[in-house]
A = this chain, B = another copy of it.
């Protein structure tokens, strides 16, 4: 499956980013009870965080792209946590999508689709996940989006 994911990434013109080191004293992912909990990931492009607020200085298309970058980093972190073997991914169970939002901005679902669509594109049926998308007042480093994940894994 790793080969398949690599192939799909290539077809989409994407490459996994280097798994980012945590900003602080925690770890990128923890596996317990068959579930891999992946820490909240920020959107990195060329090593810099994509910043800004939806509803003011970031539009929905740019927000979707930021969400996609977060999801790519989630996959990169999962791959690193699983020893490079994404074939252990049994199911993307849940994405938490936190969108840096002005009061009254209500298109979090469209923004979050940037992350959701990537998961389905990469993992097909195994990529179909539950999701919560909410608008938050602020994010680390003024990031536009943050995404965390729960992934079911096989032994």
User: Which of A's residues lie within 8 Å of B, judged by CB?
Assistant: 22-30, 32-35, 37-40, 53, 55, 90-96, 98-99, 101-110, 112-113, 116-117, 120, 128-143, 146, 148, 150, 152
The reply to whether A32 and B132 contact each other, CB–CB distance below 8 Å, is no
Number of copies: 3
Residue of B nearest to A120 (CB): B25
Are A102 and B138 in contact, with the CB atoms below 8 A? yes
Determine whether the beta carbon of B134 is less than 8 Å from that of A53: no
Asked whether A32 and B152 contact (CB < 8 A) given A112-B24, A140-B106, the answer is yes
Residues of chain B within 8 A of A132, CB atoms compared: 39-40, 96, 98, 146, 148
What would be 7 A-B contacts, judged by CB atoms less than 8 Å apart?
A23-B109, A27-B129, A98-B132, A101-B138, A108-B138, A108-B139, A134-B146
